[in-house]
Amino acid sequence: MSFLDFFNPFKYFDVNTYEHFFVWLFATLFNGWLARVLGFLFLILAYWFWIRREQMARGIGFLIMAFIMGYGWVLFRLIGVAK
């Protein structure tokens, strides 16, 4: 069990800090202008790598990140951080 304890975040942070981190992440990264800027950045990078540089794997990787930036808010709703 000590091996799994290593992965338990509550060993390093208390419950409130951990919860506040996700609330902060939701409020800053996945909501509003920062999400838009990062989303467009990832989308431009996806198109750049995929079409211009012909590196499909990187292109798809950035496209997935662009997807997460756009719809990450829904994920936060599902895990109960966003109300």
Partner 1 sequence: MSGKASTNSSGKSGRDGGIYLPQTPEKIKNLFDAISEIEFYAGAEEEGESITSKFFTVKQKIQFMEVGFKAAFISGLITALLSPIMVGVFENLIPVFGSYNPTIVDQFYVFLLTIGFSLGYGVFIARVGKCYSKDYSITKSMVNNLMIGLTTGALLKAAFIFILFHFIYFSILTPENVMSWLIPLTKKELLGLSYSNIEKVYYWIMEFRKTFITAAWFVVFTSLLLVAIPSIKILTTVIKDRRKKQVENL
Handedness of CA 45, 48, 49, 50 (dihedral sign): positive
Gap between the Cα atoms of 55 and 29, Å rounded: 27
CB-wise, 22 or 67, nearer to partner 1?
67
Q: Is 55 left (phi over 0), alpha (psi -120 to 50) or beta?
A: beta
Binding-site ranges for partner 1 (CB under 8 A): 30-32, 35-36, 39-40, 43, 46-47, 50-51, 54, 56, 59, 63, 66-67, 69-71, 73-74, 77, 82
CB-wise, 20 or 77, nearer to partner 1?
77
Quote the least distance from Cβ 43 to partner 1, whole Å: 6
Quote the least distance from Cβ 72 to partner 1, whole Å: 9
Quote the least distance from Cβ 3 to partner 1, whole Å: 33
Q: What is the dihedral of CA 30, 34, 10, 1, to 10 degrees?
A: 70
